[in-house]
A and B are shown apart, each in its own frame.
Chain A
Amino acid sequence: MAHIPDPHLSDPMVPVLARVTNRVEEIPGVVTFEINAPQWQGFAPGQFNMLSLFGVGEIPISISGPSFDSTTIIHTIRDVGAVSGAMATLEPGAMLGMRGPYGTAWPVEQARGRDVVVVAGGLGLAPVRPILYHLITNRANFGRVTLLYGARSPDEILFRNELSKWRAQLDMSVEVTVDHADATWRGHVGVVTTLFKGADFDPAKTTAFVCGPEIMMRFGANALTDAGVAPEDIHLSMERNMQCAIGLCGHCQIGPFFVCKDGPVFNWAQMKPLMAIKEL
């Protein structure tokens, strides 16, 4: 018979009570929250929490704040469904349930001494923001740092102030493109992969982090391999239905992997053959 663990240990499905301490509306429908939760011990870039609204439901949300701040929990939430929509209305002082952090981390330290290319699309900038904080704080440990970001339109560019600040830094290159714009926009217009042409990195010594809609990640990863970056050095963050985040509910499977515990961060060598299969 299998070893049976003590059933009276804490139940991983039960959240702790957390409190919203700050709220910033980034763009219409996207809100960044600061949350305070008891016994929080920090997270690694790329990990996510399960957030609950009592009477509404629970959803996985990536952590978008700096990982070196082990006291504050920052989430950026987009109103796309019943739970996220209700969450987006929360004001400071509101209570919610939280459990986590879960999942694999962006292997940022594997990129030490190498060029780093971060490719983000849409709200995909939120899950990679902890990487950027890490790179900026430990700038000397890395080679050239490039952020390529694609948004739907200039109005929907996330973290606009931070992007300007990072862009002004001489030791990193930040390029933003939008799918469409009006005449007041002076920047790039086109899909994010068109930014690769102007990016300066040594493909043989580059670690890439890609986050956004799955199609964008597929095309982004392929453009990186076309440029000569090894599939093992390209990391992406997958999204699948998650009910438990601890490998027990079965919903998040993609091939042999449970996205919640084997991911959400995978490398392109792992994902490419699986993503090639429709509706896997």
Chain B
Amino acid sequence: MSVKGLEKIVAAHSLFAGLGGGFLELVAGCARNVRFEAGQYLFHEGEIASEIYLIREGSVALEISAPGQGCMTFMSAGPDDVVGLSWIVPPYHWTFDTRAQEDTRAISLDAICLRTKCDADPALGYEVMKRFAPTIVARLHSTRLQLLDLYGTHS
């Protein structure tokens, strides 16, 4: 796909909606289209978080497994969601597995590419961080509520 086509797709995702002229080009320069079949893993816990996924279609399950408890999905992500915050923080390791729940299409951003551009241009870096921060905070809120086990019987 052409760079212009990718730019359009990146701009269409809510994470980068309204991203200013030059920045969009820089971000799209790190992007490629990816697709996963149902059941396919996008990545596993412990691996290097080398990519960021902007989900376009389908859905993915973020999983964590524990002996005796099997594999637990703690979050799902669907169209317009982002998977991948670990690329921001060294040493850039995934802390969970991510599996496609159904056939899924996404934009993958190359983490090293985006980090390098952000480091080179702090204005871009700040813009990107501002766009990731709400997702980080929302995930924290959600995790807090899940920890409370609101619907449990508390007995």
Give chain A's interface residues, CB within 8 Å of chain B. 29, 78, 80, 121-123, 150-152, 156, 177, 179-183, 185-191, 193-194, 197-198, 212-213, 215-216, 219
Contacts and interface: CB of A to CB of B under 8 A. Distances in A.
A2 to B, nearest CB: 43
A187 B80 contact: no
Nearest to B80: A197
A197 B149 CA distance: 22
B62, B80, B138: which has the most chain A beta carbons within 10 Å?
B138
Contacts of A180: 72-74, 146
B155 A156 contact: no
A213 B102 CA distance: 32
Contacts of B52: none
B39 to A, nearest CB: 9
A181 B73 CA distance: 5
A215 B148 contact: yes
Nearest to A219: B145
Interface string B111-155: 000000000000000000000000000100110011011111101
B12 interface: no
Nearest to B70: A182
B146 A191 contact: yes
Contact of B151 (A121, A187, A188, A190): A121
Interface in B57-79: 59, 61-63, 70-76, 78-79
B155 A80 contact: yes
